[in-house]
Homo-oligomer: A and B are copies of this chain.
């Protein structure tokens, strides 16, 4: 294990302890798979990779663990959300804030976000859309 990996693993353990999660071999395997790829794998893909290391691990464990990681901030969902698809006619420029508790999506508008700068790194792509998006806890849920 190199310094980077060691450090990552330490941070992972810290996150687990903070949330009173046990450090199980399954969780370690899943975290290592996730932190050693930039492929943004699905639960199914992580499951397949995990089976090679730990042949009896169940899909449920992988999926549940990924959700747990997402809850404690040890992983992020970068595609889909698990929540049902929701639509917007997109009338007028606006951005979205989502409350992670009540799932409410609140529109707001901040002009600078209508046309964000396109980094040079993306010049080789045809950009169709840019989005600025916030997530957190809304005023109503904060009171509870």
| Binary contact readout A41-72 vs B (1 if CB under 8 angstroms, 0 otherwise) | 11110100000000000000000001001100
A75→B100 contact, CB < 8 A: no
| Closest chain B residue, CB of each to CB of A116 | B132
Cα–Cα, bound, A77→B80 (Å):
10
| Binary contact readout A90-129 vs B (1 if CB under 8 angstroms, 0 otherwise) | 1100001111100101011110110011110110111111
- In the complex, the count of this chain's copies comes to 2
**Given B78, B99, B103, which contacts A125 in the complex, CB threshold below 8 Å?**
B99
B134→A132 contact, CB < 8 A: no
Interface residues of A, count at CB 8 A: 69
| Binary contact readout A5-46 vs B (1 if CB under 8 angstroms, 0 otherwise) | 000100000000000000000000001001100101111101
A131→B132 contact, CB < 8 A: yes
Cα–Cα, bound, A79→B88 (Å):
9
A80→B80 contact, CB < 8 A: yes
Cα–Cα, bound, A41→B103 (Å):
12
Cα–Cα, bound, A122→B109 (Å):
10
B135→A128 contact, CB < 8 A: yes
List A residues at the B interface (Cβ < 8 Å): 8, 31, 34-35, 38, 40-44, 46, 66, 69-70, 73-91, 96-100, 103, 105, 107-110, 112-113, 116-119, 121-122, 124-139, 142
